[in-house]
C-alpha cells in the first residue's frame, strides 16, 4: 500500500497510551479469546484518532453502532487474513469499541495494539486524507 502520510497529524504528540505489553502470540491469544469470529491484525506505532464531530453527527454514528474514532498504525506486525503485509501501514474503518486498552474493534476487524501509542483528536477531513 503506497500513500501519503501526514506527519503533523500522525507525529508523536497526543495523549500517550500503552497497548499490550504481551508477546505477539499472547496478545493474539487474548484477543482471540474475546473475539471468536472477527479477523485479528496486530500493529505497532499506532494512534487512535477521535473524530471531531457535532452532537448531531455523534448521534448518527452511535445509532449505527459505532463511535467516532479511527485507528492508524505505522506498522502492521501480523494480519491473520493477509490483507496487509508486515511493515505496511493501515488505517481502520470507523471503530465500534476500544477494549482492555489494546483491542480496537471495527465492524469487520479487531486491531491488536502492541506497545506504546497515542490518542488525539482530528477532523474527518484529516482522517480521510490518510491514504
Domain range holding 13?
7-128
Closest CA to 78 of 8, 124, 6, 26: 26
The CA-to-CA distance between both ends of the chain, in Å, stands at 9
Question: Is 45 part of a structural domain of the chain?
Answer: yes
Question: Is 2 part of a structural domain of the chain?
Answer: no
Q: What percent of the chain has pLDDT over 70?
A: 89
Cβ(1)–Cβ(88) below 8 Å: yes
Question: Is 78 part of a structural domain of the chain?
Answer: yes
Question: Is 121 part of a structural domain of the chain?
Answer: yes
pLDDT tens string, the chain, 131 residues long: the values are 334 344 455 555 789 999 999 999 999 999 999 999 999 999 999 999 999 999 999 999 999 999 999 999 999 999 999 999 999 999 999 999 999 999 999 999 999 999 999 999 998 888 888 76
Question: Is 34 part of a structural domain of the chain?
Answer: yes
Q: What's the number of domains the chain is made of?
A: 1
Specify the pLDDT at position 11.
57
Specify the pLDDT at position 12.
53
- CA contacts within 13 A on the Cβ side of 123: 4
Q: Do β-strands 116-122 and 40-51 pair in parallel, antiparallel, or remain unpaired?
A: parallel
- CA contacts within 13 A on the Cβ side of 111: 34
β-sheet bridge partners, residue 15: 119
Question: Is 122 part of a structural domain of the chain?
Answer: yes
Question: Is 84 part of a structural domain of the chain?
Answer: yes
- The grid coordinates listed for 55 are 452532537
Question: Is 1 part of a structural domain of the chain?
Answer: no
Amino acid at each position: 500500500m503506497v500513500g501519503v502520510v501526514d506527519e503533523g497529524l500522525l507525529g508523536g504528540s497526543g495523549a500517550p497510551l500503552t497497548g499490550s505489553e504481551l508477546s505477539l502470540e499472547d496478545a493474539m491469544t487474548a484477543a482471540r479469546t474475546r473475539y471468536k469470529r472477527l479477523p485479528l491484525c496486530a500493529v505497532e506505532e499506532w494512534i487512535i484518532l477521535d473524530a471531531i464531530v457535532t452532537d448531531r453527527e455523534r448521534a448518527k454514528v452511535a445509532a449505527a453502532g459505532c463511535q467516532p474514532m479511527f485507528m492508524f498504525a505505522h506498522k502492521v506486525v501480523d494480519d491473520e487474513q493477509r490483507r496487509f503485509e508486515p511493515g505496511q501501514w493501515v488505517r481502520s474503518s470507523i471503530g465500534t469499541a476500544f477494549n482492555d486498552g489494546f483491542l480496537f474493534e471495527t465492524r469487520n476487524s479487531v486491531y491488536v495494539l502492541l506497545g506504546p501509542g497515542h490518542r488525539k483528536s482530528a477532523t474527518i477531513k484529516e482522517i480521510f486524507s490518510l491514504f
